[in-house]
């Protein structure tokens, strides 16, 4: 449960990791299925205090917020507004499985409208930060994946500038937003990076993609340290399609 003791322990662990790495890390909100007893604070307050104590960033998965809100009956916008906007450095999107009485964060479907709406609210609150869409199963053709990236661009542009049509819907390099697509199906693969300079393909093993994506994002989108670092693996058929596309 989210107690003050748990917060002390978690803060200490995060601080030790950051000290060892010599840099701040990002902590992601989970998707929740079991409501434990004994909580002394809600999750947003827990994460906000963790970030305040340690200086860590927050990776906010808006699909996880939606899933947890559906499973436990709280308001997703209330959760989002309880997070410190200045600490949020990346936003994740994904699809889920709606089982009726509960929702599971399966990453095997398109992002639903409710999660897109939450994403737009998040961008309006936080500003231009890295965005990543996750897909782990039932992978559609590459054009379908890229259409979700384009929708993220349009929503972010609308949230940031109040425009979502025509050329103005495409983010510029100085907007500071980098769009990443992660598909987990194989240990060899490819990362899709969409920044101010368009689509860039980064191919290689998972372990080598961290630095490659970070460096490419800085060069292509001009956003420096605001780029989220992610592990990216994608099936070879998707990788081959993407390679052909560029």
Is the pTM here over 0.85, yes or no?
A: no
Per-chain mean pLDDT for the chain: 76
- pLDDT for residue 160: 87
Residues 97 and 61: their CA atoms lie apart, in Å, by 16
Whether 205 shows a pLDDT value over 70: the answer reads no
Judging by beta carbons within 10 Å of its beta carbon (0-12, 13-18, 19+), is residue 158 exposed, middle or buried? middle
Rounded Cα–Cα distance for residues 206 and 212 (Å): 10
Taking Cα atoms as reference points, which of 187, 191, 203 lies closest to residue 149?
191
- How large a percentage of the chain has pLDDT more than 70? 65
CA distance 161 to 157: 6
List phi, psi (to 5°) of 148: -70, -40
Q: How far is CA 230 from CA 10, 67, 88, 213, 226, in A?
A: 22, 22, 15, 8, 13
Tokens, residue 36: 């434990």
């Amino acid at each position: 449960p989210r107690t003050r003791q748990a917060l002390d322990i978690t803060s200490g662990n995060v601080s030790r990791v950051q000290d060892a790495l010599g840099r701040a890390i990002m902590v992601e909100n989970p998707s929740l299925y079991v409501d434990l007893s004994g909580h002394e604070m809600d999750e947003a307050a827990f994460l906000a205090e963790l970030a305040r104590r340690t200086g860590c960033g927050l990776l906010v998965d808006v699909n996880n917020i939606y899933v947890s809100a559906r499973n436990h009956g709280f308001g997703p916008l209330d959760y989002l507004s309880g997070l410190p906007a200045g600490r949020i450095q990346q936003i994740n999107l994904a699809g889920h499985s709606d089982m009726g009485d509960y929702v599971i964060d399966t990453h095997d479907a398109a992002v639903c409208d409710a999660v897109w709406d939450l994403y737009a609210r998040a961008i309006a609150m936080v500003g231009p930060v890295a965005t990543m869409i996750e897909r782990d199963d039932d992978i559609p053709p590459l054009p379908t994946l890229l259409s979700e990236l384009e929708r993220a661009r349009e929503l972010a542009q609308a949230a940031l500038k109040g425009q979502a049509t025509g050329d103005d819907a495409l983010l510029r390099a100085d907007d500071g937003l980098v769009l990443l697509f992660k598909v987990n199906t194989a240990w060899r693969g490819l990362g899709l990076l969409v920044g101010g300079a368009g689509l860039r393909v980064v191919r290689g093993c998972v372990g080598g993609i961290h630095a490659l994506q970070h460096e490419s994002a800085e060069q292509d989108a001009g956003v420096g340290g605001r780029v989220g670092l992610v592990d990216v693996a994608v099936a070879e058929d998707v990788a081959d399609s993407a390679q052909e596309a560029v």
